[in-house]
């Protein structure tokens, strides 16, 4: 319930009380397990690999709806960070999505690094290295196939990685570009193997077409030099010591990527002056997802809230939003999630603008025809218009879809009075 209220608060006037109507939409949701921990045996890696899956709160196994997917490396370590961001920003800032967290507890260094090395920073490597290609094969040919077969996914995917996993994320972008639409690399270890990937990027970013792809890079800048606090973001590139190589490599890559606009890559990078390597994932996941989904956010949201906006204007806004979504997702997508369509419908009922309310309730049914909530909301609309026959008709449709006692009792009440 709190999430529904939060979404409405983004786009409606605070003074309108939509909670009594939002409750009706939530009472009919079935209790479905939306968080799953699972594993598959990987022939590629010759071991079992664990992962978790979080389905959207509006997930309905009877629906034909499909969802974009976010893949999070180091999934069990960063699970709470991704879930915190997603739970607070879906709706207006990003769509409903399926989240997948991949475990890298075992063989992390091997799976996430791009080349074999014997020593690093003058210290012998204790772990096997250079298995990024093999791990990419596991993700593409085993894990993604399993996820797509098991859950209602689309091919709009986002990959998130931190540190070694950030290095891996950029490697996948450069050499397996087709796998994901969005890439978020947080404090990536681009100094790896004498800046091997950075050197390769100088050629790849210049010659390869990345049209339709997005990359967000985060740099934690609280400690740019391991021993010298006088090194700041302003003079970082002047330092030549080993102690600033990690941060310099990220900055050099970012400046390089930003310079090559001709390759079509939607590149964004952000410096976090008050964050350390270990604290930067949370703000970077938030900023990365919000930035790469900027196109998803409503155009002219104030017009939806303004009682002076005409129905024709609202229809144009919704049509335009649908075009934007279809172009970016690459498949047909409703102009609003169901919660918002119903929320705007109830808001307009309270504003005593029934024609606008009907528009939003009608569109909720149009775009979410398997949703009992959509029909239940239309029943509320007709009740508010004192059209009991129509209210009963729509609550019966809701009951047919849900089989829920709430709708059964609501129907009985309407027939009684």
Region 313-327: what's the mean pLDDT? 96
**Per-residue pLDDT at 18:** 37
Region 122-145: what's the mean pLDDT? 94
Region 122-138: what's the mean pLDDT? 92
Average pLDDT value for the chain:
90
pLDDT in tens, 206-226: 999 999 999 999 999 888 877
| Phi, psi angles (nearest 5°) of residue 40 | -135, 155
> Whole-model pTM?
0.91
Region 43-53: what's the mean pLDDT? 96
Q: DSSP letters along 210-255, please?
A: -TT-EEEEEEE-TTSSSS-TT--TTTGGG--SGGGHHHHHHHHHHH
pLDDT beyond 70 at 3: no
**Per-residue pLDDT at 229:** 83
**Per-residue pLDDT at 237:** 87
**Per-residue pLDDT at 27:** 40
**Per-residue pLDDT at 32:** 60
**Per-residue pLDDT at 125:** 82
pLDDT tier, 109 (very low <50, low <70, confident <90, very high otherwise): very high
């Amino acid at each position: 319930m709190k999430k529904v209220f939060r979404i409405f608060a983004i786009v409606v006037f605070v003074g309108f009380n939509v909670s009594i109507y939002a409750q009706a939409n939530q009472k009919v949701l079935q209790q479905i397990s939306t968080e799953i921990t699972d594993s598959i045996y990987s022939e590629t890696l010759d071991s079992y690999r664990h992962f978790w899956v979080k389905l959207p709160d509006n997930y309905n196994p009877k629906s034909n709806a499909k969802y974009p997917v976010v893949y999070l490396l180091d999934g069990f370590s960063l699970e709470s960070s991704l879930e915190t961001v997603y739970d607070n920003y879906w709706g207006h800032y990003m769509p409903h999505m399926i989240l997948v967290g991949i475990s890298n507890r075992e063989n992390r260094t091997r799976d996430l690094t791009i080349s074999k090395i014997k020593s690093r920073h003058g210290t012998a490597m204790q772990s096997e290295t250079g298995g990024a290609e093999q791990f990419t094969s596991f993700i593409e040919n085993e894990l993604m196939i399993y996820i797509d077969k098991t859950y209602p996914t689309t091919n709009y995917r986002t990959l998130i990685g931190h540190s070694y996993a950030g290095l891996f994320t950029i490697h996948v972008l450069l050499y397996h570009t087709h796998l994901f639409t969005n890439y978020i690399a947080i404090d990536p270890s681009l100094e790896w193997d004498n800046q091997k990937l950075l050197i390769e990027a100088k050629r790849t970013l210049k010659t390869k077409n990345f049209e339709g792809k997005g990359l967000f890079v985060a740099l934690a800048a609280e400690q740019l030099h391991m021993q010298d606090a006088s090194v700041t973001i302003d003079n970082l590139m002047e330092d030549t010591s080993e102690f600033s190589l990690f941060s310099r490599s990220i900055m050099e890559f970012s400046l390089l990527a930003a310079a090559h606009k001709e390759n079509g890559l939607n590149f964004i990078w952000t410096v976090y002056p008050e964050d350390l390597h270990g604290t930067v994932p949370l703000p970077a996941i938030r900023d990365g997802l919000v930035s790469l989904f900027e196109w998803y956010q409503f155009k002219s949201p104030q017009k939806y809230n303004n009682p002076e906006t005409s129905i024709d204007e609202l229809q144009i806004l919704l049509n335009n939003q649908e075009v934007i979504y279809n172009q970016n997702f690459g498949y047909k997508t409703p102009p609003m999630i169901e919660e918002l369509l119903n929320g705007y419908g109830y808001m307009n009922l309270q504003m005593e603008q029934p024609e606008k309310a009907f528009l939003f309730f009608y569109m909720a049914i149009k775009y979410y025809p398997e949703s009992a909530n959509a029909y239940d909301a239309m029943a509320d609309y007709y009740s508010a218009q004192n059209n009991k026959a129509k209210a009963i008709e729509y609550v019966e449709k809701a009951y047919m879809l849900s089989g829920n006692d709430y709708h059964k009792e609501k129907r009985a009440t309407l027939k009684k009075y």
